[in-house]
Amino acid sequence: MTEATCRRELELEIPAETVKKAVERVAKEFARVARVPGFRPGKAPVTLIRRRFADDIKSEVLQSLVPEQIERAVTESKLVPVTQPQVDKVDFTETGPVKFRATFEVLPEFELGQYKDLEVEVDELKIEDSDVDKALDELRDRNATFVPVEGRAVADGDYAQLKLKGIPAGGGEPIEADSVLCHVGGEETMEPFNQNLRGANTGDHKTFDVTYPSDYPDPKLQGKTYTYAVEVLGIKEKKQPELTDEFAKDVSDATSLEELRKKLRESLEAARAHRQSEQGREKLLAQIVKSHEFPVPEALVEHQMDSRLERTVRSLASQGVDPRAVNVDWVALRSRQKERSIDDVKAELLLDRIATAEKIDVAEEEVEKQIAAIAERSGESATAVRANLTRQGALDRMKSKIRSEKTLDWLFSNSRTRTITKEK
């Protein structure tokens, strides 16, 4: 047993008398059903049965006695296993005690330190007039129209309407589009498109190569080279609507531009408050984790590493990317998650212990509310969602998550927040 880990080894012994009775019981059961040449069913001598089926009898005896002995020892030691015990070093004799070793991981024992009335720093997030202006500009941009341009070539700022086909180097699925807008000179546009389309006219054909960087936002294109054949179908300018009271009425329920500005500021301030609250909770939990030193079960850490990796895979799949086709060292990516996974496990254990100490629990109405939200998103009935969660064993996990979130909310409400100004 190593003190710095959650691994436990128990050297256990089953009394000889208990073993003897179990062997006799199992042997009699075998004798009733065993078929032995020269004897009618159930009539073979028990002594013969014990010799002929010695290994099977031993296996049955161990299967019936070992788990009971482990459970008894675990209860007496007040341990909470998180893995199935692995049994080895079995010393079995029919006339003596059975000795064996059981190895497993347990929840760690630790004392709660300070977790109330802590101070946490959050960044000052001022909402300036420029932020409101930016939000207004984004509204104008979303409501902009594209106006055809006649009589001149493509210039920076224009949107070239293209028919294109891109063939990946080395083979693979091509990229094709019958009509797509390309913002020439835009920050988001790859430079080969800018170079080849700047000065082009409607009807022109261009062929050029584009090599995408390894950190390109679209994972399907990262690190790949495509040869594009492009036809310029037209040239368009983006026209934003004017900032007027009519614009405000068109894009919102505001009755004037001034009222729209006020609503945008209120929305930005609410988002700021939410960001500060989230930042505060994250920093507070990290502070509590850092102030508590205790080992965590390796099995829980491994599970958390797998969960983090699964989230990455699901994120790629949601973007239409086949994770198997991405050039990623998954083993290395998983191993890099270990330190954060350890902190995740520590955080959950601490939140659970704090919740118990402060008598924070989950009401059935809170579970129903969560189920109703899932049902609304999925289009299923709440009854069906509950049945699925129960069948998958996810209902308890949901309750545990709600309890952890409530506990973190409670911790934040019982902490002191200090706003700091970032140096520019």
| pLDDT score recorded for residue 1 | 36
Q: Is residue 251 part of a domain?
A: no
How many Å is the maximal CA-CA distance in the chain?
Answer: 108
Do 151 and 70 lie in a common domain?
no
Do 269 and 326 lie in a common domain?
yes
Q: Is residue 400 part of a domain?
A: yes
Do 294 and 396 lie in a common domain?
yes
| Residue in 113, 118, 126, 116 with CA at minimum distance from that of residue 417 | 118
Do 272 and 387 lie in a common domain?
yes
Q: Is residue 383 part of a domain?
A: yes
Do 416 and 287 lie in a common domain?
yes
SS (H, E, C) 186-240: CCCCCHHHHHHHCCCCCCCEEEEEEECCCCCCCCCCCCCEEEEEEEEEEEEEEEC
| pLDDT score recorded for residue 42 | 64
Do 268 and 383 lie in a common domain?
yes
- How many whole angstroms separate alpha carbon 266 and alpha carbon 326? 42
Do 220 and 91 lie in a common domain?
no
Q: State both tokens at 77.
A: 């030691």
Do 338 and 208 lie in a common domain?
no
Q: Is residue 247 part of a domain?
A: no
| pLDDT score recorded for residue 33 | 67
| pLDDT score recorded for residue 168 | 92
- The tens-digit pLDDT sequence of the chain (424 residues) is 345 789 999 999 999 999 889 888 888 887 776 667 667 666 677 777 777 778 888 888 898 899 999 999 999 999 999 999 999 999 988 778 999 999 999 999 899 999 998 999 888 888 899 999 999 999 999 999 999 999 999 999 999 999 999 999 988 889 999 999 999 999 889 999 999 999 999 999 999 999 999 888 888 888 889 999 999 999 999 999 999 999 999 999 999 999 999 999 999 999 999 999 999 999 999 999 999 999 999 999 999 999 999 888 888 888 777 777 677 788 888 889 999 999 999 999 999 999 999 999 999 999 999 999 999 988 889 899 899 988 888 888 899 999 999 999 999 999 998 888 776 5
| pLDDT score recorded for residue 217 | 83
Question: What range defines the domain where residue 263 resides?
Answer: 256-420
Do 20 and 77 lie in a common domain?
yes
What CATH number is given to the structural domain containing 191? 3.10.50.40
- Residue 297: how many other CB atoms lie within 10 Å: 22
| pLDDT score recorded for residue 198 | 94
Do 332 and 394 lie in a common domain?
yes
What CATH number is given to the structural domain containing 273? 1.10.3120.10
| pLDDT score recorded for residue 2 | 42
Q: State both tokens at 150.
A: 């006649």
Q: Give the Å distances, CA to CA, from 133 to 143, 186, 187, 243, 249.
A: 15, 21, 21, 11, 17
Q: Report the predicted TM-score, pTM, of the whole model to 2 decimal places.
A: 0.74
- Report phi then psi at 339, rounded to 5: -60, -45
Do 352 and 416 lie in a common domain?
yes
- How many whole angstroms separate alpha carbon 222 and alpha carbon 246? 43
Choose the final residue of a domain: 74, 105, 136: 105
Q: State both tokens at 113.
A: 């330190």
Do 154 and 272 lie in a common domain?
no
| pLDDT score recorded for residue 329 | 81
Output helix, strand, coil percentages for the chain, rounded to the nearest 5.
50, 20, 35
Q: Is residue 132 part of a domain?
A: no
- Report phi then psi at 229, rounded to 5: -110, 120
Q: Is residue 121 part of a domain?
A: no
Measured in Å, how far apart are the chain's first and last C-alpha atoms?
A: 52
- Residue 283: how many other CB atoms lie within 10 Å: 18
| pLDDT score recorded for residue 47 | 73
| Residue in 41, 267, 227 with CA at minimum distance from that of residue 139 | 267
Q: Is residue 405 part of a domain?
A: yes
For the chain, how many structural domains are there in total?
3
What CATH number is given to the structural domain containing 51? 3.30.70.1050
β partners of residue 8? 104
The per-residue b/e assignment along 65-78, b for 16 or more CB within 10 angstroms, e otherwise, is bbeebbeebbeeee
Q: Is residue 140 part of a domain?
A: no
